[in-house]
């Protein structure tokens, strides 16, 4: 779990960036599910009788789906087909090393196996653990929608170059310019109080209504995922056959 910004770090307010995160949600320890043992895997294979795909039982949501899919006006950040039978929601923080690891090591497989095949769509929801993460998400909201995931993936891939610096702005600006920002657009985006209020709403709602306490936290069709590896998604989404 990544701790909150260190006491000596220059605040975003001092850098003339709007902030609301003086008291961010306190994360708790992440719990990662153990990969199923060989005996359990063998039993499942014997029960199936073959490796052919079988119908999955509907997932039991841990949240009210109507409330869970509500927005406050700004659209969700979605990758995949709108009518995909599975909806994956990630609550993420841009300064979270575990989130960066997911985006670098797991998301490419998830995309290839389930998103590109039309079985699932993937949504990123903002759950910043500090002001720096909030600023990175603001930039994601200011870029043209077609480049949202380009910027998010770029920032996660180069997290060490900006997230843990005393002054993160030069690093953030460097990568923002690569996806089409101008210096003026960059500065204006980070002063957008309405946008920051939206991000605060998403984070606070995730915490208070859906029990999000750590990043990354995943839901699949409203069911909280146990684990963050591709095996955890395989377990709930099932074989990559057509639904």
Cβ atoms < 10 Å from Cβ of 137: 27
pLDDT tens, position by position, 216-225: 999 999 999 9
Asked if pLDDT for residue 29 goes beyond 50, the answer is: no
Judge whether 166 and 176 are in contact, CB under 8 Å: no
pTM score of the predicted model:
0.75
Question: What's the rounded mean pLDDT across residues 29-38?
Answer: 33
Report how far residue 32's alpha carbon sits from residue 161's, in angstroms, rounded to the nearest whole number.
27
Run of H or E including 90: strand 86-92
Categorize the per-residue pLDDT at 22 as very low, low, confident or very high, splitting at 50, 70 and 90. very low
Judge whether 53 and 238 are in contact, CB under 8 Å: yes
Preceding amide of 192 cis, omega within 30: no
* Three-state secondary-structure class, residue 211: coil
Categorize the per-residue pLDDT at 140 as very low, low, confident or very high, splitting at 50, 70 and 90. very high
Report how far residue 156's alpha carbon sits from residue 175's, in angstroms, rounded to the nearest whole number.
11
The contacts of residue 34 (CB under 8 Å, 6+ apart) are none
pLDDT tens, position by position, 147-175: 999 999 999 999 999 999 999 999 999 99
Structure tokens that stand for 110 in this block: 């998830």
Angle at 58 (CA atoms; ends 38, 103), nearest 5 degrees: 65
SS3 content of the chain, % helix, strand, coil (to 5): 45, 10, 50
* Three-state secondary-structure class, residue 46: helix
Instruction: Please name the CATH architecture into which domain 38-237 falls.
Output: 3-Layer(aba) Sandwich (3.40)
């Amino acid at each position: 779990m990544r701790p909150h910004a260190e006491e000596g770090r220059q605040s975003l307010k001092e850098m003339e960036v709007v902030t609301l995160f003086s008291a961010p949600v306190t994360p708790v320890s992440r719990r990662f599910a153990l990969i199923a043992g060989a005996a359990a895997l063998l039993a499942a294979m014997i029960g199936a009788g073959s490796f052919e795909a079988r119908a999955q039982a509907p997932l039991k949501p841990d949240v009210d789906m109507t409330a869970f899919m509500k927005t406050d006006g700004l659209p969700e950040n979605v990758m995949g087909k709108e009518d995909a039978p599975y909806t994956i929601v990630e609550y993420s923080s841009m300064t979270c090393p575990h989130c960066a690891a997911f985006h670098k090591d797991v998301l490419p497989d998830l995309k290839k196996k389930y998103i590109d095949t039309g079985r699932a769509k993937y949504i990123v929801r903002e759950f910043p653990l500090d002001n720096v993460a909030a600023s990175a998400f603001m930039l994601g909201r200011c870029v043209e929608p077609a480049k949202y995931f380009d910027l998010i993936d770029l920032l996660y891939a180069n997290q060490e170059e900006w997230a843990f610096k005393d002054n993160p702005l030069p690093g953030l600006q460097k990568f923002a310019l690569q996806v089409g920002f101008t210096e003026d657009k960059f500065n204006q985006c980070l002063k957008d109080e309405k946008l920051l209020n939206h991000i605060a709403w998403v984070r606070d709602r995730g915490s208070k209504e859906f029990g999000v306490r750590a990043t990354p936290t995943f839901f699949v069709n409203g069911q909280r995922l146990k684990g963050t590896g591709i095996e955890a998604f395989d377990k709930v989404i099932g074989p990559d056959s057509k639904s």
